[in-house]
Structure 1
Amino acid sequence: MSSEQPDASFLALPASLRTKIDRAFDHAVSGPSSSGLSRTKAKQRAVPEGGFVLPEDDEPAPDDAPGGFIPEAGPSAGGFLPDDTAGGFIIEDEDVEDSSDKPTHIALSQIPAALQMLDLPPDDDEVLAVFKNAASGWSGARGGAVGEESVSRKDWRAVCAVLLEAEGEGGDLDEAAEEDEDEDEEAPMEEFRPSSAEESEGGATSDEYVEEPIKKAHKWSAASSRKSIPQRKTRRRAASPSDTSEDEGEEQERPLTARQKRECLKAFALFFPDLTEEADEDAVKGKRLGIRELTKAAGALKEKIKVEEMVEMLETFSTTPDKTMGLADFERMMVSTKMA
């Protein structure tokens, strides 16, 4: 990897952003607990015993003196061993060893988690297709199984540099600019549901009214059902329903970014077409998502989703006895299933 020169667009990024890109790569491949040997461990390595340097307080007996070709009254015994060179072959700097221990490739299956660490959409088909094209079957010992498709660190840096540059130009990396943009939005729900005037002119029925937003909602419902249900069954065999894995706990403890909160709010609002276009964020937060809303979404699209799957999904992420999801539960589900 050291022989590969980084992409020019990557080098143009600030140092802090370059470090963030590499850290996401390393954590996704090896996990946050992996690291190189520490300085203490390096010092604890066994030093080969030379046997030819005697301690100061262990003078040889007269009978043990060497063959006599070295003058006994000389200023030093031998003179060819400098006193300050003992142990000099132990490398103190741990960074040299750590740099060679870093992974050089990342498996395609680990790309979404790494993107999420950079606050980039983990399920963007176009972005994943770029990594898919850059992937190759790699038979190395680190970063994935033998023959598994993976992306090199150089390609990862190049793609992320382009993505983060685009995000920066759009204002997603500037929190202050993002807040100003949100304040300028006069009708946050306008793009997700038709206005009442358009509905009356077209003479649309209630079923026709909810069809377009429900199409988007159904995509979320089907995808989250596929992703959440197997995880739920695994936890039933291994532990109680309230237990979560260590990785899931870390994802839930990490606060949501402004982009993730905005996407979750928009997706959650799609399940409640009865809200007017002037509905504010507080009105959406007061809603609860349950079986009725999921069934209505599936019925509007004439899609068959098993009730057991709906119940399973709600039980997995709901934190209330009635097994419905509020916005906070919905946000947790979106992050856990890599939908935000």
Structure 2
Amino acid sequence: MLEGARRTAHFRVVIVDGKLRHVLKEIKEGNEKTKWKDTVPYAYWKGNPFVTPTRKDLMKCNVTEKDDWNTHLCIQVLYYIFINSLSTNYSSQRHNLYVVYVFWTQDWDQESSQGYKKSNLGDQCTHRYHVPKIYVEGWAWSVSEKYILACDSTTLYVRSGFHDFFVRGMVPLEHYWPIRDNSKCRSLKFAVEWGNNNTDKAQAIGEAGSKFIHEDMDMDYIYDYMFHLLNEYAKLQRFKPTIPPNAVEYCPETMTCGVDGTQKRFMEDSLVKSPSDSNPCTLPPPYEPNNLQDFLEKKANSTRQVETWEDQYWENKKRGQL
């Protein structure tokens, strides 16, 4: 969704290549392995918390003997750092579950040599809520966002300062559940409690987010989007691009010559072997200001609704009514 553009802008074109098709197929198969009602009724996050303060803050939501925030958080970093592996057993009488919480690190060199078996995205859709099943941003844009949303699990989306192009078309309570950035643990606790008490609604949110990624993010639509985006930016240019005299043309085969292994396979997977047999979709007219404002208010109101429910939940808990 193109909501607007500045006359001058820094922008990045992310080519969602053949790897996306392959991974989404694996995730879809993973969704079918576990029925939603049989998924673990906890929020799950796995990643590197040391790249940004908001991720470090997320680690405060670890389950302890004193607090259970309804989360399973796993550290996944390049090297084994100073934190030792440990586990805490927690018995939940309410769900009659025996949950083992593991706080761990991952050796990426070893994982690479073993074919990334423990990092297969298609096998990570077993939890009911993902915060990126929890989604929380890193230094900037995160490649994992679309894969997390592709799970049928309800995505618990920690408020972010960065936006992928497709997120602007997604609506809280319809495609994902919004999480406060300044009160993550309480937000996560309430989100999981609400979902476990409203399983049909939570499942519908997860499935709508997954459908959005699998269908509305079809590669043909992505290429159409890139075509129109580049054309619209080209109209803002104040000069005529020319090929420098000593420029050397790079063909796809040249680009793959210097690489091998997985990198080469992904490049070959994304190679377009023939032109499209149809024209790109027609770019719809810009939003009327009132229509755009209505859509943005709908998103803001949905987020405010969740925050109101959450505030009421904690107020009732404080009064001993829960």
Normalised by the shorter chain, which TM-score bucket? under 0.3
Could you say which structure has the higher strand fraction?
2
Q: Which of 1 and 2 has greater Rg?
A: 1
TM-score (norm 2): 0.24
Could you say which structure has the higher helix fraction?
1
